[in-house]
Amino acid sequence: MNSTWFRRFTPAAADGPRLICFPHAGGSATAYAPLERALPGDLDVVSVQYPGRQDRYRDAPYTALPALVEAVAGELARELAVRPGRPYAFFGHSMGALVAFETARLLARRELPGPQHLFLSGRAAPNARSSTRLQSYDDADVVAEVRKLGGTDQAMLANPELLEMVLPGLRADYRALSTYVWRAGEPLSAPVTALIGDSDPMVTVPEAQTWQEHTTGEFALKVFSGGHFYIGDHLGRVAGAITEGLLADAVAS
């Protein structure tokens, strides 16, 4: 896969189904390294590296979600042409859930093979109440919101040099989320698993249930103890939910 856009944290690609992971706002591909290590070794886990962070620091980040989705879908379309028929799935957390969902919708509109399963975490469906509260892009407001959610190393937020490196991506992602407009369309046919922390300040458990409206396939809701970034406390159980979903897909096919 294109090494600019995708990262793998294992020495070599596995032969099993591919799981493509989409980071949260301000996040990078390395956010999924712990989950990759918790998943079975026969899964080929790759994570999207958005522009404007880590080794892509000098690449201008996208400030509009449709443009980001278009870019990711284009890269995946090239990969699908190289490996036609290989099963794959999406996992997205928070903003990543929305990017994953819209990417799957775009691939479907282009009549390209879509993901066999979507695992959508820490976010309500896009037609539900918006979980992005910020309407200004003042750096102090963005940093305060990130502190409240607790997903970024707090020491990094207190370090001016490190903060200056992550702020461009954060600014861009929050602008993309705040300007996103939901447009109705055909539901997906792939199964969807929604995952949520029971004390998430951004989205409630009933709001996470709204993803069921966006698929004609099977739906499951997995609730974990914790807040918005519950995944770090439940790596084994989250990995188990992903594995369970993929095994069910294999049996169904």
What confidence score (pLDDT) does residue 178 get? 85
- The predicted pLDDT at position 155 comes to 60
How far is Cα of residue 130 from the mean position of the Cα atoms in its chain? Answer: 17
CA proximity to 190, closest of 159, 158, 216, 167: 216
Report whether pLDDT(72) > 80: yes
With tokens 């980040």, the residue in question is 61
Nearest to 150, CA basis, from 119, 118, 122? 122
Among candidate residues 235, 241, 233, 222, the one with its CA nearest the CA of residue 37: 235
CA dihedral 196, 202, 205, 207 (to 10 degrees): -120
Q: Which residues are catalytic?
A: 94
For the entire predicted model, the pTM comes to 0.92
Per-residue pLDDT tens for 125-174?
A: 998 764 455 455 677 777 777 777 775 556 666 667 777 777 888 889 98
Both tokens assigned to 77: 């379309």
**pLDDT attached to residue 102:** 98
Main-chain phi, psi angles of 6, to 5 degrees: -130, 145
The predicted structure's pLDDT at residue 145:
75
Cα separation, 195 vs 186, in Å, equals 22
Please list the helix, strand and coil fractions of the chain in percent, rounded to the nearest 5, in that order: 45, 15, 40
Residue whose C-alpha is closest to residue 54's, from 79, 81, 25, 26: 26
User: Would you state the structure tokens that stand for residue 190, as one six-digit string?
Assistant: 């792939």
DSSP state of 62: P
> What is residue 85's predicted lDDT score, i.e. its pLDDT?
85
CA-to-CA separations, 150 to 96, 142, 232, in angstroms, rounded: 17, 13, 11
Report pLDDT digits (tens) over 191-244.
999 999 999 988 999 999 999 999 999 999 999 999 999 999 999 999 999 999
From CA 71, how far away is CA 116, in angstroms rounded?
Answer: 21
What is the model's pLDDT at position 146? 75
**Of the candidates 243, 215, 17, 220, the residue with the CA atom closest to the CA atom of residue 108:** 215
